[in-house]
Amino acid sequence: MSETSADDLLRLDKQLCFALVTAARNVVAVYRPILEPLGLTHPQYLAMLALWEQSPRSLGDLAAALAMEPATASPLVKRLEGDGLIERRRSSADERRLDIALTAKGADLRQAALDVPRQVMARLGMSVPEVEAVRDALTRFAGAVEL
């Protein structure tokens, strides 16, 4: 294994941050044409994934699941509501809280989304184990960073 010089460590192509930013931009570009027929953007798709796992849920819970602030998730929820995929309603457990729940249309969209992961892997030319390895490494990385 060769030693990396201090100057080499400052090369753009050696930067973790650059690789992550580029990968994030590229993954959204891969998803865009796959999600377009479903009428979803990438952030909306992530929100729907969380709601397909658990619905209803509070805005705070949804935002936490998406690793974002509630103020950032709120416009996303409004857009999904405007598209008829979700509805906000008072919690039966606590009337002060608004729960976000799937509508029938939102629940039905899950069936159409079942092929999204296969299409993404096909576009990337990656197998399930390869995608899992990248995802697991990124999950470990994200968990190692304390904000």
CATH number for the domain harbouring residue 39:
1.10.10.10
What is the number of domains present in the chain?
A: 1
Question: Does residue 8 form part of some domain?
Answer: no
Peptide bond into 56 cis (omega under 30): yes
Rounded to two decimals, the pTM is 0.87
Side-chain-side CA neighbours of 15 within 13 Å: the count stands at 11
- Print the domain residue range for 25: 14-142
* pLDDT surpasses 90 at 31: yes
Question: Does residue 4 form part of some domain?
Answer: no
pLDDT band at 63 (very low <50, low <70, confident <90, very high): very high
Residue 11 three-state SS: coil
Question: Does residue 39 form part of some domain?
Answer: yes
> In sequence order, what are the beta bridge partners of 89?
99
Question: Does residue 2 form part of some domain?
Answer: no
pLDDT band at 142 (very low <50, low <70, confident <90, very high): confident
* pLDDT surpasses 90 at 108: yes
List strand residue ranges (DSSP E) for 68-117, in order. 86-90, 98-102
